[in-house]
Structure 1
């Protein structure tokens, strides 16, 4: 099952954990810490605006709690989180 979430940049890490918890049918506190898969601060910083103020584009993927997570920034100013 795949779930795609549009999220605010500052809350990407929270949306990943709550999205995986929803797919698993568990409380988010029952999942392993996200920092064991990715540095949440680095994840937020990857897509921060450039020094010129222009938004970045691209994607990053990693595995968390046996799910493939993809965070993508494209044509909009909001990242999209996909959980497989």
Structure 2
């Protein structure tokens, strides 16, 4: 099952944890710490708006709690989290 999150209400690292928890049918606190897979602060920095107001481009992929995580930007510049 693949879950794609395009909601822009939480930090990207929170979207990863809550998305994996939803797929697992558990609470986020039951999952391993995200920092075991990736630095949450660095992840947030990569996907925040630049000082000029322009969004960054690119993708980040990593494994967390047995799921492949893919974070990228859609055509409008919004951050999209896909959990496999």
- Cα distance between partner residues in 2 of 1:28 and 1:52: 34
TM-score by length of 2: 0.88
In structure 1, the gaps of 5 or more residues are: none
User: Do 1:9 and 1:79's aligned partners in 2 also have CA atoms closer than 8 Å?
Assistant: no
Contact 1:57 1:74 in 2 (8 A): no
Shift of 1:81: 0.2
TM-score scaled by structure 1? 0.88
Alignment of 1:26-65 (within 5 A): 26-65=26-65
Query: How far apart are the structure 2 equivalents of 1:25 and 1:51?
Result: 38
Aligned length: 84
What is the 5 A alignment of 1:1-84? 1-8=1-8, 11-84=11-84
Q: RMSD across aligned C-alpha pairs, in angstroms?
A: 1.6
